[in-house]
């Protein structure tokens, strides 16, 4: 049977599903962000920018659900004998990613906040801030730095997962995929 709740051994299906949906969304958001910022001004750019914002807002909803689910569930235990520095690094990286993703979404909203923000053409809100070029550029730079910091941590995170699977031969990667 496919378990709903996490146990001390493995993640339940909602935690796994949410992990991979967020992973795919993050990659798509980075690709879309880099693509539209490199395009000439025009309808196509505006459309892709709006799509980027909409999926970013959708990610906010998904991350709130994910955080709630994490707080309602046990986190599977680390493999026995895992060095203390690795346990600590994993803890910092996982919580750090939650914090950084929320920060990145907030910065995205702040970059866009001097105009109305559309959610999939369904509704819009704002402007939340008065026009201010300097402030806009500051949020732009922070939103740029943000994705790079996240990408570096995710890079190490992926390497750590592969290290567990191929070198340590434990169930750390498997329990985030099959169980």
Beta bridge partners of residue 117, listed in sequence order: 125
Residue 84, number of CB atoms within 10 A of its CB: 8
What residues does 124 pair with on adjacent strands?
118
Specify the residue, 2 or 99, whose C-beta has the smaller distance to ligand HEM.
99
Cβ of residue 23: shortest distance to ligand HEM, in angstroms?
A: 4
For ligand HEM, the closer CB: 3 or 97? 97
Which of residues 12 and 143 has its CB atom nearest to ligand HEM in the complex?
A: 143
Q: Which is nearer to ligand HEM, 1 or 137 (CB)?
A: 137
Structure tokens at 23: 């992973």
* Rounded least distance, CB 91 to ligand HEM, Å: 9
User: Which CB sits closer to ligand HEM, 1 or 109?
Assistant: 109
* In the complex, minimum distance from the CB of residue 39 to ligand HEM, in angstroms, rounded to a whole number: 11
- Minimal distance, residue 34 CB to ligand HEM, in Å: 5
Where do contacts with ligand HEM occur on this chain (CB under 6 A)?
A: 19, 22-23, 26, 29-30, 33-34, 37, 49, 52-53, 56-57, 59, 70, 75-76, 90, 94, 97-98, 101, 104-105, 108-109, 111-112, 117, 140, 143-144, 147, 150, 154, 157-158, 161, 172-173, 175-176
For the stretch 13-21, contacts whose Cβ atoms lie closer than 8 Å and that sit 24 or more positions apart, written own/partner, are 14/69, 15/66, 15/69, 15/70, 15/73, 16/176, 16/177, 16/179, 18/62, 18/65, 18/66, 18/69, 19/66, 19/176, 21/62
CB 40 → ligand HEM: shortest distance, Å?
A: 13
């Amino acid at each position: 049977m496919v378990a709903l709740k996490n146990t001390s051994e493995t993640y339940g299906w909602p935690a796994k599903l949410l992990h991979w949906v967020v992973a795919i969304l993050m990659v798509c958001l980075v690709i879309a962000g880099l693509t539209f910022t490199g395009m000439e001004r025009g309808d196509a750019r505006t459309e892709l920018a709006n799509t980027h914002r909409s999926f970013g807002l959708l990610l906010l909803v998904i991350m709130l659900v994910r955080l709630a689910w994490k707080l309602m569930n046990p986190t599977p235990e680390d493999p026995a004998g895992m060095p203390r520095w690795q346990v600590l690094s994993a803890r910092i990286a996982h919580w750090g990613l939650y914090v950084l993703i929320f920060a990145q979404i907030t910065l995205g909203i702040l970059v866009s906040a001097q105009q109305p923000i559309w959610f999939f053409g369904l509704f819009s809100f704002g402007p939340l801030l008065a026009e201010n070029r300097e402030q806009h550029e500051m949020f732009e730079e922070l939103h740029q730095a943000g994705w790079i910091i996240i990408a570096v941590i995710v890079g190490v995170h992926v390497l750590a997962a592969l290290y567990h699977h191929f070198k340590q031969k434990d169930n750390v990667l498997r329990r985030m995929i099959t169980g």
